[in-house]
Structure 1
Amino acid sequence: MALLDRIDRKILAILQEDTTMPVAEIGKRVGLSTTPCWRRIQRLEEDGVIQKRVALLDPMRVKAGVTVFVAVRTSRHSEEWLARFAEAVSEFPEVVEFYRMSGEVDYLLRVVVPDIARYDQFYKRLISKIELADVSSSFAMEQIKFTTALPLDYAGEGG
């Protein structure tokens, strides 16, 4: 993939904040007319830099206001087990992020639910699907920072 120039990074910064902004307005803000701006956005989509455009919802208004970080350890480290675990986790809409980790924790899940009782139901369904050596849950008390915007300063660097 080619390096992103200054204008590409400006376009991406704008789209990360408001994907509904008209192309003409984006172009005006970055110093391009509508058509060249639209071509750049299309190229960024074709290159996979822009993966998709989504709406961010208020978790409280959709009854998903409790965030739980679930640290999973397993005694099984085969590709077959990981495929089964990933398939099991993909069946749970409550899991909004899922990572394979380095260090003491093997996997980390971010789970959103309405309350502790619903988390308990989720937990019971999860352990009924696959064998886990250890599961540790931490409930977020307060969200101090949340963003979906990625830093773009590095996107212009070579190497």
Structure 2
Amino acid sequence: MIELDLIDRKIVTELMRDATLPIAQIADRAGLSQTPCWKRIQKLEASGVLTGRVALADPAKLGFGLTVFVGIEAPDHSADWREAFSAAVEAIPEIMEVHRMAGEMDYLLRVAVRDMAAFDALYKRLTDAVPIKNVTSHFAMERMKFTTAYPVDSRNR
């Protein structure tokens, strides 16, 4: 973990809220002038604290109205299977996130698809690509909370 001072935490917080903010606004909110603020942002990017800047989109308005959380139980834990599984999930763009888990399931996937037929096609692509011991799917009925911003403490202490 990289130690961030209060100014860095303020900068990161502002960028997580809205990465389109002009440097002048970010600097003002962090208590800096523009040049030192820009240099800190560059340092945060170089150190890997900031990994990218993106626009967030409404999945339903883009035609991805169904979110599915898929639990995967691996048939074995060999390097060959992990590599094949990794390649398979990388090749399917509708798989938005993949987490290796501890507990009953080995992997948890977040999938965004148009509808049930699209999920069925994805399921078949994935299970044809790599052997899987068990698949459990959970269909989201409503997204009640969503954020990409981590709760960084940006208050004066």
Relative to the length of structure 1, the TM-score reads: 0.93
Q: Aligned residue for 1:97?
A: 97
| Structure 1 residue 118, shift from structure 2 partner | 0.6
What amino acid does structure 2 have at the position aligned with 1:114?
Answer: R
Q: Report whether the alignment pairs 1:119 with 2:119.
A: yes
Give the distance between the partners of 2:144 and 2:52, measured in 1 at CA.
Answer: 26
Give the distance between the partners of 2:105 and 2:148, measured in 1 at CA.
Answer: 24
Identity of aligned residues (%): 52
Q: Aligned residue for 1:62?
A: 62
Q: Is the 8 A contact 2:75 2:131 kept in 1?
A: no
1:126-145 map, 5 Å: 126-145=126-145
Aligned partner of residue 131 in structure 1, secondary structure: coil
Give the distance between the partners of 1:95 and 1:58, measured in 2 at CA.
Answer: 16
- RMSD of aligned Cα (Å): 1.2
| CA distance 1:92–1:20, change in 2 (3 Å) | same
Q: Aligned residue for 2:107?
A: 107
What amino acid does structure 1 have at the position aligned with 2:66?
Answer: V
Give the distance between the partners of 1:57 and 1:44, measured in 2 at CA.
Answer: 25
Q: Aligned residue for 1:146?
A: 146
Aligned partner of residue 97 in structure 2, secondary structure: strand
Aligned partner of residue 96 in structure 2, secondary structure: strand
Q: Aligned residue for 1:29?
A: 29
Give the distance between the partners of 1:100 and 1:12, measured in 2 at CA.
Answer: 27
Give the distance between the partners of 1:29 and 1:76, measured in 2 at CA.
Answer: 51
| Structure 1 residue 78, shift from structure 2 partner | 0.6
Moved over 3 A (4+): none
| Structure 1 residue 2, shift from structure 2 partner | 4.5
What amino acid does structure 2 have at the position aligned with 1:80?
Answer: D
| Structure 1 residue 60, shift from structure 2 partner | 1.0
What amino acid does structure 1 have at the position aligned with 2:19?
Answer: T
Q: Aligned residue for 1:44?
A: 44
Aligned partner of residue 55 in structure 2, secondary structure: coil
1:64-83 map, 5 Å: 64-83=64-83
Give the distance between the partners of 2:75 and 2:117, measured in 1 at CA.
Answer: 28
| CA distance 1:77–1:44, change in 2 (3 Å) | same
Give the distance between the partners of 2:65 and 2:44, measured in 1 at CA.
Answer: 33
Relative to the length of structure 2, the TM-score reads: 0.94
What amino acid does structure 2 have at the position aligned with 1:64?
Answer: F
5+ residue gaps, structure 2: none
Aligned partner of residue 72 in structure 2, secondary structure: strand
Per-residue CA shift, 1:83-108, capped at 9, x if unaligned? 11000110000000001111110111
